[in-house]
Structure 1
Amino acid sequence: MQAECSYLEKSNILFYVKLDLEGNYKYLSPNFCDHFGYKYEDYIGVHSFETICEEDHQLCLDIIQKCLKNPEKAFAVKLRKPAKDDKIFFTQWEFTLELDEDKKPMEYSCIGFDITKKVNRRSEIAQLNLQLEGSKQQYQALFDTSSLAIILHDLDGKLILANDTFCKLLKIEHQNFTDYNLYQFIENKNWKATKELLTALEKEGKNTAFEFELIDAEKNLIPVYINKLIFKDWTGKPLVWGVITDITERKKHINLLETQKELLEKSANIAKLGGWELNLKTLEATWTKEVYEIHDLPYNSIGLFNLDNSLNYFLPNDRQLIKDAIDLTIKEGKPYHLELKFISAKKVNKWVIISGEAMYHNDKIVGIKGIIQDITERKSFEETIISQNELLTEIYYSQSHLMRLPLANILGLVSLLEIETDKDEIEIIKRKLKLSATQLDEVIKELAIKKNS
């Protein structure tokens, strides 16, 4: 026992302490004092409770009772000891009640060591486990309730995990998803490409995203967008996470938008109607294809908007008119609608309608948007109609005035001819008839010439 005590007193690992029967310190080993920063002489005779957290005093009393009932038998206990900066040391002890030669209680022999790091580590592990469990529950909830279809499968397509959204998408029972293979939901013609993709993913270790088509249990094709990520489990086996978005509605909207866009483009092309926008801050202009065609310019050929250059396409007398209209829109937000003559880049004379209105952001005018329409054909029709109307008016005047006079003469002379019997008078009537007919013929010829011109 003497050799053992000597070893304990010199130990740099274990603490060795002796307490009298009241619990006061009788001896403190050097390692004990150094570890906790105690001065030997300051603690001799001091009750051990002074160096133990109050919450653990009852543990000490319990272990003392055990020692009293079983002398010379060691009993273990964990005690917390206060340190500086409100820190706590965690220690592990064995208490033994030593007896004298007469087998009477003499003192308590206490051997211990610091388990603070071990306790802290366990606490950290417990905290991490709690966090992991919390994260697991969160991810499980996200997995189960996600509106996206989520699956986990191996490189052969064997399903390992699948959420309810995936099962509903493919019209299969959730409890039976492990009976399926991913390739059962892929067209045969796409099997090879899918296997090549998974092989490439395994080699590169990268995630990828692509549009695809799956087949549900009722053999319906479903357009989807898939994100795939490959990783290795704890055994080194490669697995693939797949996040799948049903894009059926999006495809319908895209197709509808493309159809509407095509119809708008055709309508704009037929109507020779183009749209434009001008950003007043950057002076960047955006034109539709039809605007370039009206200007006889190559598509997307303009850079920064230049008002003077744009005005040059209009006749000199109209340039100030449209400039004033644009300035008024920029300053006061007043829209404009003008019908003007226009000369294209290829020097083709045209008629256009140009309209513009202010664009606002936070009640501030930030740009102008509008339309320009080539109405040259309409103007040509209008001019033709005006010309025909003028001709018809002239014909009406000629018919009502110029033609009626010789025609009335002819009718009157014919009536005289029917009742006249004198040969000389008849000859005079015939000459007058010929003159009136000639006059009528000249009026008709003049009208025909005007019509053809």
Structure 2
Amino acid sequence: MLVNPFSGNSSRSLPLADGIDDHTGFPQQKALDIITALHTSFADNKPAQVCQELLLELISLTGSEGGFMGAMEKDYYHQPYLEVQAIINIHWHANVQQYFGSRLERGQHFTNMDTLFGKVLLEGKPVLSNHPDKDESRYPAVFRTFLGIPVCHHGETIGMIGLVNKPGGYHSTLIPLLQPIALTYGTLLHAYRTRSSRESLEMTNQQLVAELHALTSSLDDIVFELDENLVFTRVWCNQQHLLFFPEHEILGKPMVDLVGEHANAFRQLADTLLRTGDPQYYEYADIRQEMPYWYAVKMRTMPASDSSPRRLLMFVQNITQRKRNELELRQVNADYARNIQILDITQQMALIGGWEFNLVTGQVFWTRQVYNLRELPENFTAIFNDLVFYHPEDKHLLEEAQIQLLRHHQPYCIDLRHISAKGTVKWVRTTGIPVFNHDKVTAFRGIIMDIDKQKKADIELENAARSRSEFLSVMSHEIRTPLNAIIGIAGTLQDQPTATHQELLQNLHFSANHLLGLVNDILDLSKIEAGKVELEHIPFNLHELIQGISGNYQPLAAAKGLQMHSYTDAGIPGLVQGDPVRLGQILNNLVNNAVKFTNEGYVDLELHVENTSGNFVTICFKITDTGIGIPPHLQDSIFDTFVQGDSATTREYGGTGLGLAITRKLVELMNSRITVESLQQQGTTFRFSVTFQVPATQAMPAREGNIDPANMLTGMQMLVVEDNKINRQVMQLQLNKTGAAVTLAINGKEAIAKMQEQTFDGIMLDLHMPEMNGYETIPWIRRLQPNAFILVLTADIMPEATEKLRQLEVRDMLPKPYKAEELYRVLYRYKK
């Protein structure tokens, strides 16, 4: 064993040397001692330890500061490199690492063959350099001196020894001194590797034999060995019952004697195998009728050797389950094909196509219906970014939706216009969703549905609804405008009534309010059917609402000789949260009908607590009369639009048949249902229940007092913009009471001219006017007189008008006809 000379083991260490100048012996003797010790060291140690100790001895022998040694190997591309086995006293830094081309791969690898050590490996000759900085000018100097000795075996370089930094440099006489050591090391290393390889092969062979035995014993297959005469020589089978015959009856028998009706097939397989050497395969059914099994036989040859002739291996495998699986797979494939066909027909009938974008493969798939919709051949390459197939005005919708899907995995469903490759324009509905696999998005999928007919029908319905809305808006304006004049004049005249005019004025008021009620019913029904009615949720006094409704109808009931009663349970709270206006509309309709259709007896309005839960209370409203009743065959239809009992009823009692239709729809908006019980000539009862939230405090906000208009706007300049002459006169009379100075204009164009001449504090504006309407005038008011307040008085109370005014930031609007006190309450906010 090579031992570090400083270890103290003098019996087995090499003599200490200080370079080649030795005072205790000749260098050749030291080299000989190293060679002698190498033989012993390889017998006791592994090459890595031998290298480390040998390198120490060589550094000592040559007087070097450091060194390295290792074996030459080749990489995947057959490029040589040095696998370092020992390295001593080489300071590791960036320049050294760059010089060696150092790579940590299961140890230290030096790969830079453009160096002095690379020259040793590539040329297989010693290299001595006492000026590496000149000899290797392409690299930063890392060594002062260098000596490299190749390690060879039979003329082939298998490694090297590198010694560096000897003070004063290396002398060429060192090379013949070191070469026998390197040669001895190479010979011993090769012998060690050969011995190790042989031992490894023997162990591997033993292991393979054991594993082969274990494998063949554990296989479900049956393995037979046959000689060239096709006689069975060995059998491996872990389940003996699988054999056709006991194992001892098989060995030594010819194959054709034991395989029955398959003898010819097996013989042909063997002959072909022996002739060509190509492996053979054959499937067959069990020859035993009671055994419904299938088998596969594989035949292949085992090469002959000096010790054994050529042999055949035959593997017999039970493939019954595979055969069954194949049958099942064929059935599944048939079912799958049928399902695909049904899906294709379904998509064709429903005008739906599907698409998928696979994030893993980047592939995009379209179903046949997508190609049909886009009028493309099915060999066209599907694309995910398909904006080219959509209308230019709609592309941004899909583009934004696809961005949200890709970045944030947000599904989309949008309707837009599709343009095929041939220019056909259709409305489609396209959707996209992310597909998750183990919480990771792996694909996007969606559909494209042809909704052209449906969309065009919807557009026609929208146009029809818009036309109806516009018609109702015009009719509202045309009816409410004169009504506003009538009610305004009547209100003005009532301020100074005379005995002659008192009854006429009352009749005028009644007729106007009756006509207004009919108009409101029509407009309410239109808004409810359009889904544009939203209920309020404000606190109100339910007791006062009931008392007010009952009090309103007391005079009419008394005039007909009827008793009018109202009753509320003691448990009903004073304040509840809801929509008092719509609830009052429901109750007014029902009580009005009860009084109208009752000639004798009574009318009752009752409220009962049905349920209380936390801060919620459910109240049942019950309206009962002793009137003419409703025929049984009409009780299911009285809530339909424009339906009354019969034509005689209409002639006697009047009405449009809208009241109950509106009532039912309002009750349904309150998440309730109205019912009716009636007997002809005995009376009728209507019931419905509403759940209210009870406010935490029962204190009602203070009510606003009456407004006195006298001198309220004294000194203020008001501009009235109204095309109707009578309404202009009414508005001027109403403003005269406030003390305001009034200027009149008949349309927006005239109003702009007057605003350019004079400054106004406020502008009262109609919406529907010739030449320039109110919507067009409002921006001019903002521009010319930004400090003036705007009050819109309009007969157009449709939701579209309200939304337009909201967009124009108009805060104050009064619907015509309005009461004078409502006008004064709005104007009071702008009092100086």
TM-score (norm 2): 0.26
More helix by share: 1
TM-score (norm 1): 0.44
Q: Which has the higher contact order (CA 8 A, sep 6+)?
A: 1
